[in-house]
Structure 1
Amino acid sequence: MQKSIEERIPVIVGIGECIDRPAHAAEGLEPLRLMERAARNAERDAGADVLGAVDSVDVVCEVSWPYPAAPARLCALLGMHPQRAVYGPIGGETPLRFLHEAAIRIAEGLSEVALVVGAEAEYSVGLARKTGVSLPWESRDNTPIIRGNQFMHPQAVLHGIATPSTAYPLFENAATAAWKQSPRTAQDEAAALWERYAAVAAENPFAWLPKAITAAEIRTPGPANRMIAFPYPKSMVANPMVNQGAAVIITSLARARAAGVPEHKRIYIFGGAAADEPRDYLDRAQLDRSHAQSVVLETVLRDVGGDAGVFSAAELYSCFPIVPKIALRILQAPELLPTVTGGLSFFGAPLNNYMTHAVAAMVRHLRSRQRALGLLYGNGGFMSYHHALVLTSDPARANERLKRDYRVQAEADARQLPAPAVIADYAGTAVLETFTVMYDRNSAPAYGSVIARTPQDERVLARVPGADALGIRRLLDAELSPVGAGGHVAPASDGMLHWRFG
């Protein structure tokens, strides 16, 4: 039997969030219980009994206490019997993909009620580790999680730039030079942007750090804001030490009406786009940009008419400042409200699940505005995976750009240049491509890591030892970026290549 139009219009009907701040680790809610609470809160928000009708579940990859068969355990807690229950891969953009594809399944008549849900309890896990407490939670899956040092080039691992907090500064410093900014100006821009995120977090009841912080406080290192990797102090880095959960319920418009979900609570899916970069950033030719990010955001911008001013607000992923800084330039919208949630430094970074909270915050924002559009943009990996989704409170624009083939990978790939070879053995001159400086826990420079190009346009990675005061000082020059400067690479007694300016 052919389904009616209303049975093929996906609509967000319920959003739920929860936050847990236990005084003692053993008192904390485990991730499954946070998911359960968030899902029940989403049903309560919808004002209708919809969980029992869920036929599709996506559980966001959970890291703090991973479970065997997490979807089945959650469904048992919620009394659900969906036809489809899937556990997702790692990636900060995955909640948007799950929501996007849930909407497509409804539009294709393959689903009627879907749930996207996730949670983390890293705060409790960390507290238990510090205090030596055994958590009285369900059994966990101890299979090691794949991290950057398992798929990155061995040279990136050797030189200590194979984690997000050490790799994203490389992108930041490369872009600073490409934009012809001084490092001081770039840091000022990042701090001013983060001040805007903090102001939103201060008003979000589900934020982990609900406090407005000034740009000066954000950029100034101190005992509570130690330097991590140049140019980022702790306040510019995502904060995963949180206990938070979020859920979104999507139904067909026909099901929403039949269940009695009020009209003002229904938010529609306009459309979106996605594309990826090579997972290992050393397999990319350019480190000052992401072609996948550009194509994804350009596509949704084109879909809404070419002017980002039509967006009432946006959520631009904010694991590190470079991601929204580039996004705002692509959108050509420096004044666009970049967050409705508060950002991963201040709202909190429940690892892969932040964008589920962002969906909830955007739904609240759009419910208070008629015929409005909101942009959600998520990023995963090492600026590797990009997904944008546009929501609207205008029923007339539902499904306007919703299509099965939403990936724009071919266009992103067409823009890629051949990546240079990475060499491990080299002695000779080179030109600095990008860099960062690592700090100890007292905010003292420990060493610098440099990516450089040889005269044969090969990539070579090298270290600037902390004892090289002149070299470290040049890397940290606030007025003149060292990117583009010449230098010399040579093997050293520690088994690594070292960089020397001049």
Structure 2
Amino acid sequence: MSRNHGAIDYDQLADNTPILVGVGQHLLQGYPVEIENVQSPADLAAVAAKNALVDAGIGSAVAEIDTIVTVRLFADSTPLWASPFGGSNNLPESIARRIGASPEHRIYSEVGGSQPMQLLAEMFQAIAKNEKQLVLLSGVEAIGTQKYAQKNGLSLNWYEDHADVDLEDRGYGKSFVHDTEAQNGLTIPIYYYSIIENMRALNAGLSLKEHAEAMAKMWGPFSKRATENPYAQFPKAFTIQELLLEQTDNYRLTIPYTKRFVSQDAVNQSAALLLTNVGKAKSLRIDPAKWVFLHGYAEAYDAPVYLRPNVGRSAAMAKMIEETLKIADTSVADIDHFEIYSCFPCAVSSACEVLDLPTDGSVPLTQTGGLPFFGGPGNNYSMHGIAEMVNTLRCEPDDYGLVTTNGGMLSKHAAGVFSCQPHGVSGKKLDWSMLVLSRFTAEDFPSCTPAVAPQKGQVISYTVIYARNVANQCIVIAENENGERFVAQSSEADIIAAAQISPPFGRNISVITNNKKENNFVFCD
């Protein structure tokens, strides 16, 4: 969008105005042969942190950092993903020692892909209230090295003990799932997203083949963007035909996903953001051309997937985006650049549906290349997204950019509108010290009633799960005659085959519940 706000009078800005002044990223591409040269998560994170300090032009001011906040590693997010090589029991402190910092506060975040954005907003508010002066947000994943070492029989030691140093460990946070979902086969994110994706195909009136083509058409430009990003782990551009072709390196995971449609976590990537206020930035002589402002922010939590009135949509996401733009005093037409969270195709198409954006590649939707092609560094992907948006906006200082983030199963949402332009240039002035952050909970949105001891129902949506190219389970979300929801599963070959041949939307099922609270179903129409 063509606009020229003219020269900015930075002296008119309040000293407590929070700003983002430094971004850093780091990528390890390939693996060293010598074990002693393998970089641990803390090593990788420290490189990005140093890069952020250099980017801000204050590489020698590391002692000024009063707070280090680190996004939770996947290895610490659930026992299922624990690293066999150990890790630091105080990751912020491990990073601090590597960069020469002595922060007063160390925070280790909860779980979720929305954490980078949520933490940024939280720290902005603390900075505006003069509770903090210079904050380092950091995050990292070394899952690529971990998988490589396990595959090749290497023994690594990433253990570090800093238990004697204060740490605010926020734990796992609120669970994204309902017990009945997990009891009936919905054990990992891809299964949930597959059910959401298939529901979106039905909502759009598309066959599975047509929907796959739409996903591939959307993903092609993402993969091309990854080839232009020096921090991308998997920088290869794919054609629509290549994305659709099932083969050895693009095997089927579920209906509707093959490998190239989903986030890839075998990465070695780190990112860091440096936050401060205008007064501190002036005292450190940080170039105002580096300053980026957050104009609007909101976050929201949705109900469990199986209880959402329309399984293919997130009411929380819609409200969060609407509120973010409202607080920023902007409309979609005012946004010049987008970074839409992209763990699975439905995460992007859901946001685009709310924003009324096309998904055919005519509007760029990513700054990084997206989680399947840039890489999916656990809970920290969006820190890379924010860093890339900052770089884009510094090149186009009159522009505005929207970054959306997502955690869980389209469960936790947060977004921000960024610009090099201060607040109030073309709209209302934002006082972060007085701002009440917009937070919506699942209770703010309609949800269905869970069924107790379901016996019969109709299929709302479904997925078929594959292992080594063999379909071995069908999972459905269903609704009984009273409109109450439940999840059911089947491992019977004839049920799975029927679901493979024809999507079972609307089919009648009967259910038998065992003593493990597993709802096993058969078709009865």
Structure 1 segment 317-356 matched on structure 2, within 5 A: 317-334=341-358, 335-356=362-383
Distance 2:250 2:492 in 1: 21
Letter in 2 for 1:458: E
Structure 1 residue 432: Cα displacement = 0.7
Say which of 468, 472, 485 aligns to 1:459.
485
Q: Is the 8 A contact 1:166 1:229 kept in 2?
A: yes
Distance 1:407 1:206, change over 3 A: same
Work out whether residues 454 and 511 of structure 2, in 8 Å CA contact, stay in contact via their aligned partners in 1.
no
TM-score by length of 2: 0.85
- Decide which moves more: 340-349 or 72-81: 72-81
Q: Paired residue for 1:380, among 360, 385, 407? A: 407
- Does the 8 A contact of 2:451 with 2:486 survive in 1? yes
For residues 251-278 of structure 1, the C-alpha deviation after alignment (integer angstroms, 9 at most, x for no partner) is 2122223323223222112121011123
Q: Which of 492, 498, 506 is residue 484 of structure 1 equivalent to?
A: 506
In 2: Cα distance, 1:147 partner to 1:401 partner: 29
What stretches of structure 1 of length at least 5 have no aligned partner? none
2:440 is the counterpart of 1:409: yes
For residue 277 of structure 2, what is the aligned residue in structure 1? Answer: 252
Separation in 1 of the partners of 2:274 and 2:513? Answer: 57
Q: C-alpha offsets along residues 212-231 of structure 1, whole Å, 9 cap, x if unaligned? A: 11122223221101111111
Q: Is it true that 1:83 corresponds to 2:104 in the alignment? A: yes
> Cα distance, 1:73 vs. partner?
2.4
Q: Distance in 1 between matches of 2:487 and 2:130?
A: 52
Which residue is 2:31 aligned to? Answer: 22
- State how far apart, in whole Å, the 1-side matches of 2:347 and 2:393 are: 24
Residue in structure 2 matching 1:43, options 47, 53, 57? 53
Closer, same or farther in 2 for the Cα pair 1:164/1:147, shift >3 Å?
farther
Name the counterpart of 1:107. Answer: 128
SS of match in other structure, 1:439? strand
2:73 maps to what in 1?
Answer: 62
1:491 CA displacement = 6.7
**In structure 1, how many angstroms separate the alpha carbons of the residues matched to 2:338 and 2:317?**
15
**CA gap 1:267/1:324 in 2 versus in 1, 3 angstroms:** same
Q: 3-state SS of the aligned residue for 1:468?
A: helix
Q: Residue 450 of structure 1 corresponds to which residue in structure 2?
A: 476
Query: What CA deviation, in whole Å up to 9, does each residue of 1:163-218 have, x standing for no partner?
Result: 10111111111222223333223222211111121111111000000111112222
2: CA distance, partners of 1:10 / 1:215:
43
Please give the TM-score of this superposition, normalised by the length of structure 1: 0.89
CA–CA distance in structure 1, aligned partners of residues 386 and 353 of structure 2 = 23
How many Å separate the matches in 1 of 2:382 and 2:400?
A: 17
For 2:449, the equivalent position in structure 1 comes to 420
Distance apart, 1:320 and its partner CA: 0.8
Cα distance in 2 between the residues matched to 1:183 and 1:54: 51
Check the 8 A contact 1:341/1:358 in 2, yes or no.
Answer: yes
Deviation string 1:305-329 (CA, Å, 9 cap, x unpaired) is: 5631321211111111111101001
In 1, the alpha carbon distance for the partners of 2:306 and 2:102 equals 44
What corresponds to 1:288 in structure 2?
Answer: 312
CA contact (8 A) 2:306 2:487 kept: no
Query: C-alpha distance in 2, partners of 1:396/1:301?
Result: 13
Number of matched residues?
487
Larger deviation: 457-466 or 198-207? Answer: 457-466
What are the Cα deviations for residues 460-497 of structure 1, in whole angstroms up to 9, with x where unaligned?
3333445217x5344554xxx53223344457999852
Task: Report matched runs for 1:175-324 at 5 Å.
Answer: 175-278=200-303, 280-305=304-329, 307-324=331-348
The residue aligned with 1:13 is 21
Residues in 2 aligned to 1:137 and 1:94: alpha-carbon distance in whole angstroms? 24
Which residue identity does 2:20 align to in structure 1? I
For 2:107 and 2:180, locate their aligned partners in 1 and report how far apart those are by CA, in whole Å. Answer: 35
1:362–1:128: structure 2 CA closer, same or farther, 3 Å change rule?
same
- Classify 1:160/1:330 alpha carbon distance in 2 versus 1 (closer, same or farther; 3 Å): same
- Asked if the contact 2:475–2:490 (Cα under 8 Å) also holds between the matched residues in 1, the reply is yes
What is the identity, as a one-letter code, of the residue corresponding to 1:40?
K
Distance 1:118 1:7 in 2: 28
Distance 2:120 2:236 in 1: 30
Question: What is the CA deviation profile of residues 121-152 of structure 1, one whole-angstrom value per residue up to 9, with x for unaligned ones?
Answer: 111111121122111333489x9x9699x874
- In the TM superposition, what is the alpha-carbon distance from 1:9 to its structure 2 partner? 1.6
Distance 1:496 1:11 in 2: 51
Answer whether contact 2:337 2:364 (CA < 8 A) is retained.
yes
Look up the equivalent residue of 2:335 and give its one-letter code: F
Q: Does the CA-based 8 Å contact 1:167-1:382 persist in structure 2?
A: yes
Q: Counterpart of 1:118?
A: 139
Task: Please list the CA deviations of residues 325-373 of structure 1 after superposition, one character each: whole Å capped at 9, or x if unmatched.
Answer: 0100101122542110111111111101101111111111101102111
CA distance in 1, matches of 2:213, 2:430: 37
Structure 1 residue aligned with 2:3:
none
- Are 2:148 and 1:127 equivalent residues in the alignment? yes
Q: 1:267 to 1:500 in 2, by over 3 A?
A: same
Q: Which residue of 1 aligns with 2:523?
A: 500
Q: Secondary structure in 2 aligned to 1:228?
A: coil
- The answer as to whether partners of 1:452 and 1:459 remain within 8 angstroms in 2 is yes
- Counterpart selection for 1:164 from 173, 178, 189: 189
The CA distance in 2 between the partners of 1:339 and 1:431, in whole Å, is 38
Amino acid at match of 1:301: L
- Aligned-partner SS, 1:436: strand
- Give the Cα–Cα distance (whole angstroms) in 2 for the partners of residues 227 and 292 of structure 1: 30
- Quickly say closer, same or farther: Cα 1:50–1:371, change in 2 above 3 A: farther
The percent identity for this pair of structures is: 27
* In structure 1, C-alpha distance between the alignment counterparts of 2:466 and 2:173, rounded to whole Å: 21
- The 2-side partners of 1:61 and 1:159 are apart by 28
Aligned AA (2:142):
A
CA distance in 2, matches of 1:389, 1:310: 14
Deviant stretches of 4+, over 6 Å: 145-148, 491-495
Aligned mates of 1:50, 1:114 — CA distance in 2: 12
Find out whether 1:363 has 2:384 as its counterpart.
Answer: no
Gaps in structure 2 of 5+ consecutive residues: 1-10, 76-82, 163-168
Shift of 1:389: 0.9
Partner SS state of residue 81, structure 1: coil
Asked if the contact 1:422–1:460 (Cα under 8 Å) also holds between the matched residues in 2, the reply is yes
CA distance in 1, matches of 2:501, 2:68: 48
Verify: 1:74 aligned to 2:95, yes or no: yes
Change (3 A) 1:79 1:56: same
After superposition, what is the alpha-carbon deviation per residue over 1:236-257, rounded to whole angstroms, capped at 9, x for unaligned?
A: 1111111111001112122223
